[in-house]
A and B are shown apart, each in its own frame.
Chain A
């Protein structure tokens, strides 16, 4: 049985990161879209949202002009995109700041540098965890 392709939007100003992520995640069966800056990412996320995509956004934190937190905030304040899980891509040195991203609605994070061959499974695992947490929430709401 063929598994369904998960659509993912990568927003990162680093061309090398976009390139390796696209290559590896495509091999892992993801449908990969990418944007090289925050503005482009927001535009693409909005456009894709109209056709029910992407199912997850990988968002770089440090980008020129519009940083990841600003992009995150706009995504979460837009009715079209607020439901899309966002995983922040962040350097280890920024881990102390991760609460700021959670406060703005980030769902999880992945630290850079990451091992590219593990990234597909990492994302799938995080999405599974998120789906389980959301379904538990629904059960709790229904029973209360």
Chain B
């Protein structure tokens, strides 16, 4: 495993801020894997139906889950999708949803790896070392 070539998916410091400890992060990750696929299914349905209220609501849920896990990019993308839903802009929502789905698949596959915690921690350590070196 080369952490330099592995894309950073989780901001470990943010996940620790939100969850408090590693055991809770693991617990929340299990929940994320179990529940967020359903959010994507419901979003797909809402986009097809052009239901802006449902788009905003499911995007909001996905954003919250991603935020808890320190999955920053997915959380930001889901946030933009939520805004498009709030603004009833279905066309933009459909475009943003492709982005969200793509990001979600990356997160899902990363969290399904056996070493995701190790990788995330190492990436956090190298970020801290880099910040220290830049001081």
Contact = CB atoms under 8 A, between A and B. Distances in A.
Interface of A: 13-17, 19-20, 23-24, 62, 64, 93, 112-117
27 contacts: A13-B61, A14-B61, A14-B64, A14-B68, A15-B31, A16-B31, A16-B32, A16-B65, A17-B64, A19-B24, A19-B27, A19-B31, A20-B19, A20-B20, A20-B68, A23-B24, A24-B20, A62-B57, A62-B60, A64-B57, A93-B79, A112-B67, A113-B67, A116-B17, A116-B18, A117-B17, A117-B20
Contacts of B64: 14, 16-17, 112
B98 interface: no
Contacts of B17: 113, 115-117
B28 interface: yes
Interface in B20-35: 20, 24, 27-28, 31-32, 35
Contacts of A64: 57
Given A13-B61, A14-B65, A113-B67, A20 B18 contact: yes
A116 B67 contact: no
Given A116-B18, A117-B20, A17 B68 contact: yes
Nearest to A24: B20
Contact of B14 (A13, A15, A17, A113): A113
Interface of B: 14, 17-20, 24, 27-28, 31-32, 35, 57, 60-61, 64-65, 67-68, 79
B20 A16 contact: no
Interface centre among B17, B35, B68 (most CB of A within 10 A): B68
Given A15-B35, A16-B32, A20-B24, A113 B61 contact: no
A64 B53 CA distance: 9
A17 B4 CA distance: 32
A64 B18 CA distance: 23
Contacts of A112: 64, 67
